[in-house]
Amino acid sequence: MDHDAAVKELSDMVQATVTAPTLTSAQIGAALDGAVAPDLAGVMPDADGWVPSWDLEWAAAALCDLRAALAASETQAPKQVTSEGTTITMPAPVDWTTAAAKWRSQSKLWLQLYGDGYGFDGFAPPDEPYVSTSEAIDMGVWQ
């Protein structure tokens, strides 16, 4: 998949232009650029022979985090308005933090970095052995 196709797919995943707050193509591209990943052969992004690959779920989580921040900065409309006997109920805003957590839980990069070993082989640098979340807690590194 090339960069433009990946931007389109990512935009569709997070409904970038459908649900408020909407996202710009620059924001989507920046999130994608922050989610480069080893290709299917395990070649790292900075190595010769790397086939462009991205972790779209990682990028989607980043965009949902961005949307949570953008939504928090906007004035929230009332959920229900009544005037002259007519009541209008507004849809509840999207919980972008929960959406980010959902995408993050499906991300290969997230699992490799913070999960319990379900990432792809060879991603961790050879001089730094993988430490699972439970091991980090046991060592007192993470609480």
- Does a structural domain hold residue 13? yes
Q: What is the mean pLDDT of the chain?
A: 76
Q: Under a CB-based contact definition with an 8 Å cutoff, are residues 54 and 103 in contact?
A: no
- Does a structural domain hold residue 104? yes
* Mean pLDDT along residues 109-137: 52
- Does a structural domain hold residue 42? yes
Residue 51 has pLDDT above 80, yes or no: yes
Task: Give the residue numbers spanning the domain of 113.
Answer: 3-138
- Does a structural domain hold residue 53? yes
Residue 119 has pLDDT above 60, yes or no: no
Specify the number of domains making up the chain. Answer: 1
- pLDDT tens, 81-103? 788 888 877 666 677 777 788 78
- Does a structural domain hold residue 34? yes
- Does a structural domain hold residue 130? yes
Residue 7 has pLDDT above 80, yes or no: yes
- Does a structural domain hold residue 143? no
pLDDT reported for residue 142 = 43
